[in-house]
Amino acid sequence: MATVMEMPKLSDTMKEGAVARWLKKEGEKVTTGIPVVEIETDKATMEFESPASGTLIKIIVGDKQTCELNAPIAVIGKAEENWQEAVDKYWAKKKGGSTAAKAPAAAVTAAAPAAATPASAQAATAVTSTMDRLRVSPLAKRVAADKGVDLRTVQGSGPNGRIVVRDVENLSGGSAASVSLPSFASAPASEMEKLPLSMMRKTIARRLVESTSTAPHFYLTVSLDMGPLLAWRKATIAKVSEAEKFSVNDLIVFLVSRALRKHPNINSSWQGEYIAQYNSVHMGVAVALPAGLVTPVVRHADKLSLVQIAQKNRELIKLARDGKLQPDDYSGGTFTISNLGMSGIEEFTAIINPPQAAILAVGTTIPTPVVTEDGEIAVEQRMKVTLSCDHRVIDGAQGAEFLKTLKTFVEDPMACLFMG
Catalytic residues, by residue number, are 391
What dihedral do alpha carbons 16, 22, 24, 28 form, nearest 10°?
Answer: 60
Do residues 107 and 98 touch, judged by C-beta distance below 8 A?
no
What is the Rg, in whole angstroms, of the alpha carbon atoms belonging to the chain? 27
Among candidate residues 316, 361, 313, 308, the one with its CA nearest the CA of residue 336? 361
